[in-house]
Amino acid sequence: MPQLRGYTLTQWLGSGGMGEVYQAWHADTQRTVAIKLLRRVEQAERFRNEAAVQATLRHPNIALVYEFFIEGGQSCLVMEYIDGPTIEQQIRKAGPMSEETAFRLLEQVASALQYLHGKEIVHRDLKTGNIKITRSGTVKLLDFGLARLAGSPKLTHQGYLVGTASSMAPEQFSGESSAASDCWALGVLLYEMLTGYAPFGGNTESEIGRLIRKADYIPPRKLNAKLSRTAERLIDRLLTVSPQRRLTAAQVVEALRNPQLLDSPDWLGQMRKWWERVKP
C-alpha cells in the first residue's frame, strides 16, 4: 500500500472540492486518520487556508486537523477519521429524520457555528455533505476549504461564487458572506433533514439563485405534514432574505434548548427579550 510520511493509505473514502480523501494508518501513533490529498495544483493556496483555519479549532463538533505537510510535491492534510455517514448519506438511506433527531443534530451544528463565529470565522459551505454523524450520534463539521477569517485576504476572484449554490444565502450571490450566511445554511440543513428535499431546487445556478433571492420555497409542512409549528418557525427565521433578521447560531442553540421560546404566541418577541438579557 502507498505510504506518505509514515501514513499507510488503506482505503479511498471519496472526493472533496479540492482533493481525494483516504483512510490511513500511522503505525507509530497507532492512529487511524483521514488524509486529503490535493488534486488541483491551482488550489494550493486554498488548501493551505483550510489547513491553517481548521488546525486552530478545538470543538467537539468540528473534525480535528492533526498536521499539514508536502511530500514529493503532494500537499497532504491529515485529519480526524470519522467513522460514520454524512447527513446527506443518512437522508438518502433512511429518508427524512424525526424532529427529535433533526433538532439534536442541528443543535450540535449550531454550537460549532457559534464557536466559529466567536472566532470571526465564516464556514461559507455548510451543507449535508460536509457534516458527518459518528456511530455515537455526534456531529462533526468538515471541509473548511472555503472558510474565511474576518479581515483575511480573499482567495476568490471577484464575480466568482463561493459555496454550493443550493445552500447559499441570497447575499452570497452578490459576493458577500458573513456569519448570517452560515445561519441561512442552517435553515437549508434543517429543511433537508425534516423533508428529505432541498428547499431551493432548479436546473441551473441562475434559477436556484432566483428562488433563493426571494426565499421562495415550498412550506415544509406540505412535504411532511407531521412537522410542528416550532420546526416551521425555526426554518422561517433562518430562511429569511434579510441577514439582520435571521437568528444567529447562538440564538438557534438557545431556542433548541428552550423550545418554549418558539412555542410562545409572541415567540419572536420572547426571543428578543431573552437575547437582550444574555447578549454580551
- Give catalytic residue positions: 125
Q: How far apart are CA 110 and CA 83, in angstroms?
A: 21
Q: Are 238 and 184 in contact (CB under 8 A)?
A: yes
Torsion angle (degrees, nearest 10) of CA 55, 56, 61, 66 = 30
Q: How far apart are CA 182 and CA 124, in angstroms?
A: 6
Concatenated DSSP letters of the chain: --EETTEEEEEEEEE-SSEEEEEEEETTTTEEEEEEEE--GGGHHHHHHHHHHHHT---TTB--EEEEEEETTEEEEEEE---S-BHHHHHHHH-SPPHHHHHHHHHHHHHHHHHHHHTTEE-S---GGGEEE-TTS-EEE---TT-EETTSPP-S-TT---S-GGG--GGGGGT---HHHHHHHHHHHHHHHHHSS-SS--SSHHHHHHHHHTT----HHHH-TT--HHHHHHHHHHS-S-GGGSPPHHHHHHHHH-THHHHSTTHHHHHHHHHHHH--
Spatial CA neighbour of 249 closest among 110, 106, 61: 110
